[in-house]
Structure 1
Amino acid sequence: MVGYAMSVIDEAGRVVRGFFDQPVGPIEHMKARLKSPLGELLPLEARDQAFRHFQFMGAVSSRYALGCALSYSPLIKGAFLYLYDMSAREFILETRLSVRNDADRYDLSHDPDDGTSLFIAGDARIEMTADKAHGTKTLRATLADGVSIDLTFADAAPDFSPMRVCTQTGATGWTYAQKVAGVPAIGTISGPFGSLNLVEMGACAHHDYTSGFLRPETYWNWACFSARDEAGRLLGLNVSNGVNESGFTENCFWVDGRLVKTDLVLIQFDDEDLDKPWLIKSGDGAIDLTFTPVGGYHAVGDAGILASNFHQMFGHFDGVLQDSTLGRLPIKGLGGFAETQYLRW
């Protein structure tokens, strides 16, 4: 068995904030002490009520965007899955699912680097698997209409360095985030529309694993690309604001698997017209990008205790990354995502 360098939660129940350069093992939230904002130690059941989790995994090429998310809170166990054609500007597939009865399942793996998260709703089945022994992640999904997705990518040392960070969230919460982008995607997507080979289309994968005592009412912006540039380099981007700015940030990019951390990032867009170009700039000048949307996945609704105003846009990035090792890296038409989200969950 491969060991772990450090746990997010220590033996005394304290949460360790900061960056991690090795796998952290299971994130056992029930072992984490939880206090009220006034310092009162809360009972064990409060930890389950405070816990929230989501994963977003998929692949992107110059033409296609594949995205699959699993989300968990005390109020909802849900998933969405889509494949978008950025050339035709249309969804090839799009579905939103939730656990509704005892026949459905949501089994969460608390280890971002080992184990399987399983979601079953009716005839739909989604598996996100991390294989620590082989350093790979896999997305497998089947839908009632014959759609089948099989995606695999490698994201382990020494060839790749994931972003692993844990930060303070509000008065007593914390957020652990593990991000991956800029790795080759292997596999196929098939269904009534035919079959797509991820290697042949030059797709690269992305993965976001986030867990902790997150805010029950939250808002964030996020941007990501995962691609090869004109020079053949594997490039990945992950930036956000609204989640991880308490002492540390998750903002970074990758060059051939090498992690480059950056300063705080401004994500600027027209909230009256999300189809207009977005600007993404870091305070240290390492990131200076324009994102041009060609479509989007939207989930907007208010059910009282649950609410969502979620817009995940697909499109292309242009601009410059500034790397201390390689210097100026031109970004030209790399496929990716930009999103804005309000969530009450």
Structure 2
Amino acid sequence: MKEDYYDILGITKNASAAEIKKAYRKKALKYHPDKNPGDASAEDMFKKSAEAYEVLSNADKKARYDQFGHAAFQGGGGFGGGGMNMDDIFSQFGDIFGSAFGGGGGGFSGFGGFGGGGQPRVKGSNLRIRVKLSLKEVANGVEKKVKVRRKVQAEGVTYTTCSTCNGRGQVTKITNTILGRMQTAATCSTCGGSGQILDKKPNDADAQGMKMVEETVSIKIPAGVEEGMQLKVPGKGNDAPGNGVPGDLLVAMETEIHDTLKREGDNLHYDLYVSISDAVLGISKEIDAVEGKVRIKLEPGIQSGKILRLRGKGISSINGYGTGDLLVHVNVWTPKELNKEQKEFFERMQGDDNFEPKPEKSDKSFFEKVKDMFS
């Protein structure tokens, strides 16, 4: 079982954004690979801390994690967080280390050369797509294959070291101020921060040595996802020039509207309309469920507003806590027009003791039913 993100950083759930950042910096500096060369356990803690910070420093991801735990980030690299490598960490959070480990944002010379004189690695841009899911796919999870047009480095492309920044990706500027000489660093405008410039390229490549290709990407979507959730597929975005790392493919979930079933959390709701005669005599009815049709039995004398609960016929919980229920709402349909014989029958029943409303103590009011649904 994965460790709790709050425990990894040594903070509580009500920690402020500043406290989260401070706790991460403390952990990152303690377990930084430059400070612990060859220590696999320190490297592991360094990655775990970065993963925890990536989620908890983002308000949306933090809210999702607080609600669903690690299950919110399962499938294809997760909904943010998880599967981070050193390139991800230094490209996203290098500024947090400050100058504690020298050169260019606190890099680390052992992984991709982000520190002291090493060559930087630029990350390619992310791609975003939307995937439509049926209610059945949401309930059970599904593997989708989608076609993605992404930029990749063309074959035969070669690069040379940028002469402006000497491969560092940054240029420094020294300014004289009333406080003394101040040194600032900025991304190299010649190479865009990659430390390399294009040397040779084939005719089908663009000015950066890239070409557009169509690729089929397989995406594993866990059961229980909700509208608007976002899945990250690492490395399936656009490539970056030179020795850069590819961006990510961000997949937004879009759920199709079902004809008869309505979702509420892990539960499903179904409105069943029955005639007065069926309600009086009782009947067996076939209704829609996620996996197809199911048959239910209505007892004689069933009342309008009665809710029948079919356990385990709802949506699988994204946090792994079982499956929701299918709630069938019984509505007795009153005819608006009657023929002469029908009207005479109901006229004879007016005042009949058996037709007078006699709610039992066990029959809940409308407000009690609403309260039960939301409790």
What TM-score do the two structures reach when normalised by structure 2? 0.22
> Which one has a larger percent strand, Structure 1 or Structure 2?
1
Whichever of the two has the greater Rg, that structure is 2
TM-score (norm 1): 0.23
More helix by percentage? 2
